[in-house]
Amino acid sequence: MTELDTSGDTHVFDDGTHVFDDAVSLLAVDAHRYTGRTHPAYANMVGPFGGITAATLLRAVQQHPEVLGEPLSFTINYCGPVSYGEFEIVARPVRTNRSTQHWSIELSQDGTVSTTATAVFGTRRETWSSTEAVAPDAPPAQDVAPHTLPDFITWSRNYEMRFVQGAVPGPETGESPDSTTTLWVRDTPPRPLDFAALTSLCDVFFPRVFLRRGQYMPAGTVSLTVYFHADADALGRQSDAAVLGTARSQRFGKGYFDQTAELWGSDGELLATTHQLVYFKG
């Protein structure tokens, strides 16, 4: 691992590698097994940021010699805590069809599985298309002031966040009748968007219960699913521009809530939709 250049808090390594790429880097052990290590820049309150874990498991499939096409969907289940340090990922193709390929992925530490995932990769073809979802109204990213999260949320320093509505509540915010957050977000320093980075961006939304209750409270993602609507060409057009994200919940109760979100490109193209099940206390 190279040394982080902390001058100006740039999060770029002395060999030019972006901190995100270093965080999701994996070493192939054999055809199905990879080893990696958690990165301190993506630390969360308990264990690493869930988005970076998801991106790393997706990257394992992307690196596999048998991979077919591009990611279409990805589901990750956080079965237990991921400890800081080394881990092993096993990624196996379960079935390969003419246009789709189904994957099973596991992350383990010291022989204990802490995270499981499934993914569907495939090839896309030109067909009729239509987008029924509508992007939220928002001023251009450059017209919205950046907002930082509290220092103890270490991973958030890797993202430039510009909240249009529903920012993280402060001590005097109080409860909100609505759980919607809309923001412009991108990696910092800017980095061209790819599927792994898009996967991680799908988890940048803080738990919706924080906004509704107007306070921080114990909460954590149990399961996260990403549906990729963008292909590589669409991500190439996006480049390193900010994406517009919006998230809300449908139901809170009995210790769990759902959280659904959309990520839109700077050109108004829907890049991904994502859904979570989140555990909470209080």
Average pLDDT over residues 2-21: 61
Pairwise pLDDT comparison (7 vs 255), residue with the higher score: 255
The fraction of the chain above a pLDDT of 70, given in percent, is 95
Q: What is the pLDDT of residue 14?
A: 60
Cα–Cα distance between 270 and 282 in angstroms, integer? 34
Cα–Cα distance between 37 and 204 in angstroms, integer? 21
Q: What is the pLDDT of residue 171?
A: 86
DSSP string, 158-222: GEEEEEEE-PPP-TT----S---EEEEEEESS-----HHHHHHHTT-SPPHHHHHHTS---EEEE
**Which is nearest to 199 in space by CA: 181, 180, 224?**
224
Does 5 have pLDDT greater than 60? no
Residue 32 DSSP code? S
**Which is nearest to 264 in space by CA: 151, 145, 135?**
135
Q: What is the pLDDT of residue 46?
A: 85
Q: Which residue has the tokens 């691992």?
A: 1
Q: Round the average pLDDT of the chain to a whole number and report it.
A: 94
- Note the CATH number of domain 4-124+134-280: 2.40.160.210
**Residue ranges per structural domain of the chain:** 4-124+134-280
Q: What is the pLDDT of residue 282?
A: 82
The fraction of the chain above a pLDDT of 90, given in percent, is 91
* pLDDT category of residue 172 using cuts at 50, 70 and 90: confident
Cα–Cα distance between 183 and 166 in angstroms, integer? 8
**Is residue 179 within 8 Å of residue 248, measured between CB atoms?**
yes
Q: What is the pLDDT of residue 7?
A: 34
pLDDT digits (tens, 9 = 90+) for 39-90: 999 999 889 999 999 999 999 999 999 999 999 999 999 999 999 999 999 9
Q: What is the pLDDT of residue 9?
A: 46
Average pLDDT over residues 86-110: 98
Contacts of 148 (CB under 8 A, 6+ apart): 156, 157, 161
Does 273 have pLDDT greater than 80? yes
pLDDT digits (tens, 9 = 90+) for 238-261: 999 999 999 999 999 999 999 999
